[in-house]
């Protein structure tokens, strides 16, 4: 069974020996491994059940380490690093030739992030290099935002988990690609919204074009085992069903089944979404109904996750 610990030095030694550690970040918990060790990286794919065609994000302790991983840092990339690192932003940049292609899924680009979580930063500093750290869950299932979620996902393993408390952001990072010969592109929405990114860049971000440059792009992802669907008009017939669960965005209605109101504040909603999915998914309900939040830039990341989580 997994071991939950607060011992950062123990976790660093585990990583240095080529083994895995689940680490907290401000977004979600990641399944960390030495990004320079091909055997360690292979263990991440194996434990998650993740296809090798899906690239990984390399986590760094400091932006100054980016030059060890990328062949070129454009002025646009430097502006975003200066404005948002450490923080919930991943940049996809041209990779150096010595970067493992198992990390980049065979591509000539690499995804980098400097997390803001103090536990993640302390572990990265103690480790002394870059760590791949995709979400610490089975492939396509709900991302974990607590050490207990990770332990539940990998209950049959001996995974070492660094406990950093509940994740404050709660959704995966925004991902921006800045590659030679292409326009800046937003590959994944996060709580660092598109408008803020564009203000710093001074130009528009294009939407993702073909090619899997970033993780989290499978049409079904972040998904509970329970059949789940979103709604705008309340399905009134289900309100009295004890085997139906509910996630509300403010304006909750009385229900016989279990319900969680995540509020109409986008940051509070995002921070609590995955925990609510874990809570309700554990109850073996017949159906999970999720009220769609409002539209708008502040809610874009939430809408993206809900669409993937409710795709059958």
Using CA atoms of 115, 85, 301, 133 in order, give the dihedral in degrees to the nearest 10: -30
Can you give the pLDDT at residue 249?
Answer: 97
- pTM metric for this prediction: 0.93
pLDDT of residue 210: 47
Q: Integer distance in angstroms from the first to the last C-alpha of the chain?
A: 31
pLDDT at 63 over 90: yes
**27, 183 contact by CB (below 8 A):** no
- 161-184 average pLDDT score: 96
Question: Residue 95 pLDDT > 90, yes or no?
Answer: yes
Q: Which value, in Å, is the radius of gyration of the alpha carbons in the chain?
A: 19
CA distances from 239 to 170, 244, 251, 256 (A): 28, 8, 14, 6
Work out the mean pLDDT of the chain and round it to a whole number. 94
Instruction: Give the DSSP letter string of 39-72.
Output: HHHHHHHHHHT--TTS--EEE-SSGGGGGGTBS-
- Looking at residue 141, what DSSP letter applies? B
Asked if residue 262 lies in contact with residue 246, where contact means CB atoms within 8 angstroms, the answer is no
Measure the CA–CA gap between 200 and 208, rounded to whole angstroms: 19
Strand-strand pairing, 160-162 and 131-132:
unpaired
Domains, the chain, in order of start with CATH, read 3-207 (3.90.870.10), 228-310 (no CATH)
Binding residues: 27, 50, 54, 59, 113, 133, 135, 143, 173, 188, 222
Annotated binding site for L-threonine: 27, 113, 133, 173
Which residues have C-beta within 8 Å of that of residue 196, sequence separation ≥ 6? none
Stated length of the chain: 312
Write the Ramachandran bin of 241: left for phi over 0, alpha for psi from -120 to 50, otherwise beta. Answer: beta
Q: Binding site for ATP: which residues?
A: 50, 54, 59, 135, 143, 188, 222
CA dist 107 and 51 (Å) reads 14
Q: What is the pLDDT of residues 251-309, one digit of tens each?
A: 999 999 999 999 999 999 999 999 999 999 999 999 999 999 999 999 999 999 999 88
Q: In what order do the strands lie in the sheet with 30-34?
A: 3-5, 160-162, 21-23, 30-34, 131-132, 57-59, 109-113, 89-94, 174-177, 185-188, 206-207
Burial of 82 (0-12, 13-18, 19+ CB in 10 A): exposed
Question: Do the beta carbons of residue 215 and residue 140 sit within 8 Å?
Answer: no
Handedness of CA 66, 71, 72, 77 (dihedral sign): negative
Per-residue pLDDT tens over the stretch 191-242 = 999 999 999 999 999 986 545 555 555 554 678 999 999 999 999 999 999 9
Burial class (CB in 10 A: 0-12, 13-18, 19+), 157: middle
Per-residue confidence band for 52, with pLDDT thresholds at 50, 70 and 90: confident
pLDDT at 155 over 90: yes
Give residue-wise pLDDT tens across range 177-191: 999 999 999 999 999
Tokens describing residue 79: 């502006």
Q: CA-based angle 142:147:149, to the nearest 5? A: 30
């Amino acid at each position: 069974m997994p071991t939950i610990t607060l011992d950062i030095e123990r976790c660093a030694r585990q990583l240095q020996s080529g083994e895995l550690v689940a680490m907290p970040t401000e977004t979600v918990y990641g399944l960390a491994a030495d990004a320079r060790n091909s055997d360690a990286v292979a263990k991440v794919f194996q434990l998650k059940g993740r296809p090798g065609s899906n690239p990984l994000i390399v986590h760094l302790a400091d932006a100054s380490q980016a030059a060890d991983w990328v062949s070129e840092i454009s002025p646009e990339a430097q502006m975003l690093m200066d404005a948002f690192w450490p923080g919930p932003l991943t940049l996809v940049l041209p990779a150096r030739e010595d970067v493992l292609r198992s990390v980049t899924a065979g591509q000539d680009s690499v995804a980098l992030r400097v997390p803001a979580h103090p536990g993640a930063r302390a572990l990265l500093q103690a480790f002394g290099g870059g760590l791949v750290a995709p979400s610490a869950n089975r492939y396509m299932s709900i991302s974990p935002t607590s050490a207990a979620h990770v332990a539940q996902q990998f209950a049959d393993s001996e995974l070492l988990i660094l406990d950093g408390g509940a994740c404050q952001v709660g959704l995966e990072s925004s991902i921006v690609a800045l590659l030679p010969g292409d326009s800046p592109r937003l590959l994944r929405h996060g709580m660092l919204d598109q408008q803020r990114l564009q203000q710093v860049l001074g130009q528009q971000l294009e939407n993702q074009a073909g090619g899997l440059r970033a993780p989290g792009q499978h049409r079904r992802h972040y998904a509970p085992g329970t059949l789940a669907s979103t709604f705008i008009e309340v399905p009134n017939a289900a309100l009295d069903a004890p085997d139906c669960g509910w996630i509300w965005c403010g304006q909750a209605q009385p229900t016989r089944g279990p319900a969680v109101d995540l509020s109409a504040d986008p940051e509070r909603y995002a921070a609590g979404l995955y925990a609510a999915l874990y809570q309700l998914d554990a109850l073996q309900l017949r159906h999970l109904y999720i009220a769609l939040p409002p539209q708008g830039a502040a809610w874009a990341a939430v809408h993206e996750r809900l669409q993937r989580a409710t795709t059958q």
